[in-house]
Structure 1
Amino acid sequence: MCRSFPTTLRGAGREWFTRLPTSSIDNFEQLSSAFLRHFVGRQHPKRPVDHLLTIKQGERETLRSYVKCFTQETLDADDADDKVQLTTFKAGLKSREFVVSLAKNPPRTMAEMLLKAQKYMNAEDALATIVDEERPKKEGRKEGRQT
């Protein structure tokens, strides 16, 4: 089994195997233990689902930033189903307009929630663009009045 094991490896596993010192493994049990210690020890355990309740949108945090953070954290959560994700996502929101919209027409799935969030993120981006375009005009007007 020790001789056929390397034929099943690719990438990092094969590289690890080829770097083992010559005659450092005497049997398959040692080989499998060494392999598990090297690769399984690097894995991060999944977080409990209730960890999602700790994710809150900051007072000045954009919806886009919150969605990005929340979706990343759901990947690390253990078995977070749609209902749990919906509940914890809404619990962490600070955006009043978005919360009102969700109350009027609640999404049934996380996919629907993310679609609604995308529309609000697009609106935030459009408003930010308008504000950015108006700033230089206002500053130009002030300078014109002072001369």
Structure 2
Amino acid sequence: MSSIDNEQLGNSFVRHFVSGQRPKRPADHLLTIRHGEKETLRSYVKHFTRETLELDEADDKVQLTTFKAGLKSREFVVALAKSPFQTMAEILLKAQKYMNAKDALAIIRDKETPREKEGKGEDRRGQKRERGDQ
């Protein structure tokens, strides 16, 4: 019967469990993540969040800055500018609320009857309304 000493056991453990892990990425890796031209905001948030899990270490300020720098959605950037965020959790919550609102509006728009869609932008006399009336 053969035995194994502590050093052999330790080396075996490290080879088995640690060698399969990828090394953590530096925080500046987040600068490479961009909201693609045809990518949805939901997809960008998911991609960005997944990438942050692979970082060696990055504080909220770095994550906030790089997340906003990679955005392409002007509407969402404006929504973010209206209130300052201190943590990544806050900005992700704002993104979730924004995406839910966009989804709800899309559902409402899809449920409108053809007559309602035709009448958008016109008053009861069939004349175009001014922008301030809407």
Q: Assess same fold via TM > 0.5.
A: yes
Matches within 5 A, 1:3-82: 23=2, 26-82=4-60
Q: For residues 124-146 of structure 1, what are the alpha-carbon distances to aligned partners after superposition, in whole Å with 9 as ceiling and x for unaligned?
A: 21133234435xx55xxxxxxxx
- State the alpha-carbon separation in 1 of the partners of residues 110 and 85 from structure 2: 32
Runs of 4+ in 1 over 4 A off after TM superposition: none
Which position in structure 1 is the counterpart of 2:91? 113
Higher helix residue share: 1
Q: Name the counterpart of 2:117.
A: none
* Aligned-partner residue type, residue 72 of structure 1: R
* Alignment counterpart, residue 89 of structure 1, candidates 67, 73, 87: 67
* 3-state DSSP of counterpart to 1:41: coil
Taking only aligned residues, the RMSD between alpha carbons, in angstroms, comes to: 1.8
Supply the AA of the counterpart residue of 1:28: N
The amino acid of 2:35's aligned partner reads Q
Aligned counterparts of 1:130 and 1:59: Cα–Cα separation in 2: 25
Deviation at 1:104, TM superposition (A): 2.4
- Mark the structure with the bigger radius of gyration: 1
TM-score, length-scaled by structure 1? 0.69
Mean CA deviation greater in 108-117 or 85-94: 108-117
- Structure 2: tracts of 5 or more residues without a match: 115-134
- 2:13 and 2:83 mapped to 1: Cα distance? 51
Distance 1:122 1:104 in 2: 18
Task: Compute the TM-score of the two structures, normalised by the length of structure 2.
Answer: 0.75
Match of 2:107 among 129, 134, 137: 129
* Corresponding residue of 2:78: 100
Q: How many pairs align?
A: 114
- Percent identity among equivalent residues? 72
Deviates more, 1:101-110 or 1:43-52: 101-110
1:68-110 CA-to-partner distances (Å, cap 9, x unmatched) read: 1111111111211010010000001011001012222221221
